[in-house]
Amino acid sequence: MNERPDFSKNANHAATAPAYFSVWDMEAYYGESYIVQGVSFNVHEGEILALLGRNGAGKTSTLRAIAQIGSPKMTHGEVWLDHQPLHTMASHEASQAGIGLVPEDRRIIPGLTVEENILLAQIAPPIGWSLDRIYDLFPRLGERRKQEGVTLSGGEQQMLAIARTLARDIKVLLLDEPYEGLAPVIVDEIEKTLNLIKSQGITTVIVEQNALRALDLADRAVILDTGTVVFDGTAQEVLDNEALRHEYLAI
């Protein structure tokens, strides 16, 4: 088991002081089956972390357990964001504390326009980016603001899902398979957007089956295998290690 870091605000020892966002010894399960087993990692403010692994490795489950949304339920461990213990919070409290999850299915609300989907995220504080700022980042959404959200293309829906999350005052953006089903040229657009979001100081954790694209984007990488961490280091180390990629990522 990993030694628990000191998560207090006064922690000042280099070996124990926590990163901006920390997951420590997380366990989570579906029914009676554990799917996340002792997962720990740290992310510094403004970093992009690629959370990688084969299908069924526990990546999406880790994101959902962090955000406290549905199943799997976290049964052990701690999640800290800027000295706040997210593991003691309900999902809406974790959202208010700064966690923003963009799920794989995007969950665009039928019957609402692009703008209404965004504004719905701001019906309660804390309020994040303004509409003008969002449309500066996503000009295409500004052009389609009165169009029903579910009629957008796949890439535009992904932009809308990210924009809706930014409409909240988030500190950590959790992205689950943001490139799925998108053409390479659209993936290029999403990557540019994520780099711009990074430049605003927002920390990002990205789960993505297109591991090479995620590694090109990320600063650091964590690889999961059957719910446990088998690698934690820089993205470049993974790109440079063919044996590691072949064994755990099949690339």
pLDDT beyond 80 at 84 = yes
Give the per-residue pLDDT at 2.
59
pLDDT beyond 60 at 134 = yes
pLDDT beyond 90 at 125 = no
Q: Max Cα separation, the chain?
A: 53
The band of 19, judged by pLDDT with boundaries at 50, 70 and 90, is confident
Give the per-residue pLDDT at 31.
73
CB 18 within 8 A of CB 7: yes
Beta carbons within 8 Å of 27's beta carbon, 6+ residues apart: 34, 36, 37, 38, 39, 74, 75, 76, 77
The band of 12, judged by pLDDT with boundaries at 50, 70 and 90, is very low
pLDDT beyond 60 at 10 = no
Give the per-residue pLDDT at 15.
39
pLDDT beyond 60 at 13 = no
Question: What does the DSSP assignment read for the chain?
Answer: -PPPP--STT---TTT---SEEEEEEEEEETTEEEEEEEEEEE-TT-EEEEE-STTSSHHHHHHHHHT-SSSEEEEEEEEETTEEGGGS-HHHHHHHTEEEE-TT--PPTT-BHHHHHHHTTSSSSB-S-HHHHHHH-HHHHHTTTSBGGGS-HHHHHHHHHHHHHTB--SEEEEESTTTT--HHHHHHHHHHHHHHHHTT-EEEEE-S-HHHHHHH-SEEEEEETTEEEEEEEHHHHHH-HHHHHHHH--
Locate 195 and state its tokens: 């780099």
Structural domains of the chain, ranges and CATH numbers in brackets: 22-98+171-184+201-251 (3.40.50.300), 106-169 (no CATH)
173-221 pLDDT per residue, tens: 999 999 999 999 999 999 999 999 999 999 999 999 999 999 999 999 9
What is the pLDDT of the chain when averaged over all its residues?
92
Identify residue 194 by its one-letter amino acid code.
L
Could you give the CA distance from residue 179 to residue 123 in angstroms, rounded to a whole number? 28
Ranges 21-25, 67-71, 107-111, 225-229: which has the least confidence: 67-71
Q: Which of 195, 244, 194 is nearest to 223 (CA)?
A: 244
CB 91 within 8 A of CB 68: yes
The band of 7, judged by pLDDT with boundaries at 50, 70 and 90, is low
Which residues on adjacent β-strands are paired with residue 81?
A: 21, 84
- Taking phi over 0 as left and psi of -120 to 50 as alpha, with beta for the rest, 228 belongs to beta
Which residues on adjacent β-strands are paired with residue 22?
A: 42, 80
Q: Name the residue with higher pLDDT: 15 or 142.
A: 142
Give the per-residue pLDDT at 73.
84
The band of 9, judged by pLDDT with boundaries at 50, 70 and 90, is low
